[in-house]
Amino acid sequence: DVKVTQSSRYLVKRTGEKVFLECVQDMDHENMFWYRQDPGLGLRLIYFSYDVKMKEKGDIPEGYSVSREKKERFSLILESASTNQTSMYLCASKRSFGANYGYTFGSGTRLTVV
Amino acid sequence: QKEVEQNSGPLSVPEGAIASLNCTYSDRGSQSFFWYRQYSGKSPELIMFIYSNGDKEDGRFTAQLNKASQYVSLLIRDSQPSDSATYLCAPSGGSYIPTFGRGTSLIVHP
């Protein structure tokens, strides 16, 4: 089974801190994604990457950046955390080919910014 | 970007009934779809994939795809309280940009 591992399950940070959320997948997937999920708003795509060192903005990239230096690792960075970034963050990965291969999600990181 | 619409619910059904969850989409290029189940506080998990018009059955779950009308649905027969969750649909393939519906909350009451 594909595993997508997120480094922290719960995280509490202070306003203005720089925050790193790490995601590692173990099945050599080309594509990796970062979402945030808020009640009533569903899954919203922040950034995604289809190859090492490649990144594309999603629907809500403001206030975030990403890094993909190795194929298996995709990091989300909150440059200066704010309270409106309190949310559940989900990482996912997917193969590039084969439409029947779905997204595999990590268990999520619940971030609270105080 | 693909637009996917779902009724947020909650959809409440009694135990043993059929639950019907629907999803409409705007991109005619979408050829196949996933259904995900998400329990409260957990991440989404893939439960069904459908790529052709008609029905696909897997145990108590049946996915239906109608490309002409641009909707995809998920039927859950003999609903159980353990089916209570949020169900998300998402197109597969095509653009790299994945779009999920907001999900429909299903409550199965004893």
pLDDT tens-digit series, residues B73-84: 999 999 999 999
Residue B2: per-residue pLDDT = 54
Residue B32: per-residue pLDDT = 86
Q: How far apart are CA A23 and CA A18, in angstroms?
A: 17
Closest CA to A44 of A36, A55, A52: A36
Residue A1: per-residue pLDDT = 66
Q: How far apart are CA B39 and CA A96, in angstroms?
A: 27
- Say yes or no: A105 contacts chain B, CB-CB below 8 A: yes
Q: How far apart are CA A83 and CA A102, in angstroms?
A: 32
* Mean confidence (pLDDT) of chain B: 90
Contact (CB, 8 A) for A12 and A110:
no
Confidence of residue B53 (pLDDT cuts 50, 70, 90): confident
Q: Which chain A residues have a beta carbon less than 8 Å from that of B63?
A: none
Contact (CB, 8 A) for B24 and B87:
no
B98–A107 CB contact, under 8 Å = no
C-alpha A54: how far from its chain's center? Answer: 14
Nearest CA in chain B to A51: B96
Confidence of residue A40 (pLDDT cuts 50, 70, 90): confident
Q: Chain B: nearest CA to A97, how far in angstroms?
A: 8
B92–A99 CB contact, under 8 Å = yes
Nearest CA in chain B to A10: B41
Closest CA to B88 of B30, B40, B22: B22
Q: Chain A: nearest CA to B2, how far in angstroms?
A: 12
C-alpha A53: how far from its chain's center? Answer: 15
Looking at the predicted structure, is the pLDDT value of residue B95 above 60? no
- Say yes or no: B8 contacts chain A, CB-CB below 8 A: yes
Looking at the predicted structure, is the pLDDT value of residue B98 above 80? no
The tally of CA atoms less than 13 A away on the side-chain side of residue A59 is 15
- Say yes or no: A52 contacts chain B, CB-CB below 8 A: no
For chain A, how long is the longest CA-to-CA vector? 42
Q: Chain A: nearest CA to B6, how far in angstroms?
A: 10
B88–A90 CB contact, under 8 Å = no
Q: Chain B: nearest CA to A109, how far in angstroms?
A: 10
- Say yes or no: A104 contacts chain B, CB-CB below 8 A: yes
Contact (CB, 8 A) for B83 and B12:
no
CA-based torsion, B3, B85, A91, A60: positive or negative = positive
Looking at the predicted structure, is the pLDDT value of residue B29 above 90? no
Beta bridge pairs of residue B105: B86
